[in-house]
Every structure is written in C-alpha cells, then in structure tokens.
Chain A
Amino acid sequence: MSPGVLALVSALAALGLMLANGVVLIYMLRKVLAHFHLRLGPMRVGWHGLLQTPADVLKLLTKEDFDPSATDLWLFRLAPFMVFVPSFMAYLAIPFSDSLSFTPLDTGVLYTLAALALVPVGILAAGWASNSKWSLIGGMRAAAQQIAYEVPLLLSVIGVVMIAGSLDMSEIVKAQQGTWLGFIPRWFVIPQFGGFLLFLIAALAELNQTPFDMSVAESELVEGFANEYSGMKFAFFFLAEFSNSFVVSALAVTCFFGGWLLPWVPIDLPVWVDVAVFLTKTYLCIFVLMWIRGTLPRIRIDQLLSLGWKGLIPAGLAWVLLTGVVVKLVP
C-alpha cells in the first residue's frame, strides 16, 4: 500500500476506536458512578441500559444546534473543531502491541502530550466565544488549570524517558520487560513511583476530572464553557473529553504499567493477546479515574493553582534531579 492509503486506513481505524470508546465510556461512567451512589444507573433502554448511549447519540444527532445571538459566530463554530481534532490526533502514537500502532513515532510521548496540550485552547475559545458569563468563567478556569498542570505532567514523564532512553512509546514498553528478583515485574511504576503520583494528579487536572472539574462545575457554572452549546456541537466537546481520558490512561499504562506486557509469561504472545492486555489495563486505569470522580469533592480554583505551582512543580523538578542522580549511581 502507498503511504497515503496506509495513513488514511490507520486514521479511519483510530476514528472507529475513538467513537467506540466514547460510546462504551459514557455507559461505563454512568453505571460506575451510579453504583458508587447506590443507584442502578440506566436500566430501561436495552438489557441493563446497554442501548442507552446509542439512543442518546441518535437524540443528539436530531437535536437542533442553534447559535445564540450574542456569540462570536466564527469562533463559536470553530471551537468544537479545536477541541475534537487534537484529541483525535492524540491516538496516533499509542502502541497496542509491538507490531501494532497507528503509526510508530520516534517522539511518541512528546507528541501525545503536545496533542493533548492543544485541547485547552479550544475550551478557552468556546468559553470566550459563547459571550455568556458562566461560559467565560468556565473557559478561564479551564485554561488556568490546564496550563498549571501541563508542566508537572511533562516533568512526571521525564524520569521514565531517562530510564528508557527513548521517547518512542514501544521502546518505553520494551524497556519494562522482565522481572526483578524473578517475580517483581520491571514496570516503571516501582522505580518511578514519585513520577507516577505526579502524573496521576496532573492527569486528573488535565482531564478536567473531579476533584479538578471546576471548569464545568455543574453546581456553580451549570455546564461551564459548554453552556451555550447544543446538539452535536455539545456532543463533540464531551466525546473529546471521554476520548482524552482513554488517551491519558493509555499513556499511563505505556509509561508506568508495562504497556502490552504481562509479567511471568513469555514475551512473544499473539498480537490479539497483547491488544487485549493493553486495553484491559487501560480500562482499569479509566475505572480508577471514575472511582476518584465518585469519591472526592471538588476543590477551589485558588487551592488548585497553589497545589500546581507551589507543590507539584517544585516536586517535579526535585524528582527529575533525584532520578538523574540515582540513574548515574545505580547502573
């Protein structure tokens, strides 16, 4: 196949994965949160509400999406693109197996983080263009929050890159093969536990997840930056949000939990086993995110910014230095 056709096929496959993720994750979020609240969640449409999300998609497709009169029309219509496209592009470098990724990229980790970093631009544009007070506050909060946690997120992965000696996501996974003492898997979460904690906190903030969800903050800002949006435009913001939680979880699995590798088994498993292992680990990570969402209350914006700038960034810098020293001393 020519490179152009190959690129198109992989992009279509990624689009399919993203849409499937969206449908599955919305159902999963509603069910998981419901059970944390001792409710049942969707039960009526299909067996245990399984057809609820497809029904919602049909509803959103046929809903009117109108442009309120006060909006900055160009920016208002552009904002769903600015949010959706980068979060779709972030799928590109995820390695599902040694031989299977949409495209192998030498700078995979940096590329994925860069793609995710573009999302807040769209959210800020949506908040500003809506010309509504709730939206503006939501957009500003999202921007401040995501830039405050962008730096710790970048710092948290540097330790992993130093040990693996590569930004290629497959190389990072391969650096985690084998075991210590014959039974402890060489996953980077053990030597890089500090980095993992930083990553977890920063990723929650990047995803606008509770306890850092004050850009949406239903009880204060109604729906935050997406307040004036309706129909499919609204749907794209939330499709992007769900898809980002998949990408960030996949990044966590790749960098800290050995990607497609299973401990204590031979490494040359069939491709479908690798993919199944990778997806299972990723969905477990997403479950943990939902668990946190169902457990913690929201914090205030000034507390959030203080935690990011005065806590996580100094901690991240110290962790990079510490990793540097330890890597040189322990070959």
Chain B
Amino acid sequence: MPGHLTIAVFAMLGAGFVAVTLLFSRVLQHRSFGDEKYSPYECGSDPVGPPWVQFRIGYYVYALLFVVFDIETVFLYPWAVAYGSLGMFVLLEMAVFIGILAFGLAYAWKEGALTWR
C-alpha cells in the first residue's frame, strides 16, 4: 500500500524535523541559570499551591459524550460514500440511526449533562 508507506514516512520525517531543529537550536542558544527563572510562571508572584488539582467535572462529562458521538458520526461515513448507489431503504435505515443519536443527545440534554455548572 503506497498510501500507508507515505503516511509512515510523513510521520517519521515530521518527528525527525522537530528533533533535529530542537537539537540545532540547543547548540546555537546561549544558556543561563538561576532559581527564579525555573519556577512556574504566575505573573511574577510565587505560585500558591500545586496546579495539579481536581478539575471541574464538567469537562469529563463532555469528553464521555464526545467519544459516543464521534464514533457514531464516523459510522455515517461509509453510508454517505455508498449512498448514491443504494436504494430508498438506506435512507430509512439512516433515519433510524440518526434518530437514535438524536434521542441520546436529547436524553443527555434532559439529564443536564450539557449544562455548564
């Protein structure tokens, strides 16, 4: 498969380019050291508490919903490619599929998963 080979070459060349440029820059740059410089940036004042804290749960709910919807949307693609060559029945089938998707979205909406709290 020439496609797969090209994808692999692109990935390797991209990563190689970043690595080589960073090394090159490491050779060129002037380095200086100091404690203050290495502390996390918080507009000049000393950081208060660790930043790795429990984070707003809302983001995780959205992420869960995303996984479901993204996979189901990808299922629509093979259907869309073959759509022209298939009969009227595929439209009905897809209406049922999209109906289930929409029902899932409506349920998440009703349960308040889409509300920012």
Contacts and interface: CB of A to CB of B under 8 A. Distances in A.
Contacts of B107: none
Interface stretch (A158-166, A182-190, A244-252, A286-294): A158-166
Interface string B1-15: 011011111110111
A232 B25 contact: yes
Interface string A123-162: 0000010111111100010011001101100110010011
Contacts of A181: none
A106 B98 CA distance: 25
A275 interface: no
A84 B17 CA distance: 10
Nearest to A133: B51
B98 A320 contact: yes
A302 B9 contact: no
Given A85-B14, A103-B6, A233 B38 contact: no
Interface residues of A, number: 80
A20 to B, nearest CB: 14
Given A89-B10, A140-B55, A66 B38 contact: yes
Of listed B7, B9, B52, B62, residue having the most chain A CB within 10 A: B9
A232 B52 CA distance: 26
Given A61-B25, A133-B42, A327 B84 contact: yes
On chain B, which size bracket covers the interface? Answer: 35 or more
A162 B43 contact: no
Interface in B81-113: 81-85, 88, 91, 94-95, 98, 101-102, 105, 109
A80 interface: yes
B40 A228 contact: yes
Given A134-B41, A155-B73, A167-B77, A147 B63 contact: yes
A320 B74 CA distance: 13
B114 A162 contact: no
Contacts, number: 208
A305 B25 contact: no
A200 to B, nearest CB: 18
Given A7-B2, A62-B30, A85 B94 contact: no
Nearest to A61: B25
A313 B69 contact: yes
Interface in A287-326: 301-302, 305-306, 309-310, 313-314, 317, 320-321, 324-325
Contacts of A140: 55-56, 59
Contacts of B83: 162, 165, 324, 327
A81 interface: yes
A267 to B, nearest CB: 22
A10 interface: yes
Contacts of B47: 70, 132-133
A56 interface: no
Interface stretch (A11-19, A26-34, A258-266): A11-19
Interface in B32-65: 32, 37-43, 47, 50-52, 55-56, 59, 62-63, 65
Given A63-B25, A64-B32, A89-B10, 9 more contacts: A7-B8, A15-B17, A64-B31, A69-B38, A84-B17, A88-B14, A161-B81, A162-B80, A231-B25
- Sorted nearest first, the 7 A-B pairs with minimum C-beta distance are A302-B116, A88-B14, A69-B38, A147-B66, A7-B9, A85-B14, A132-B40
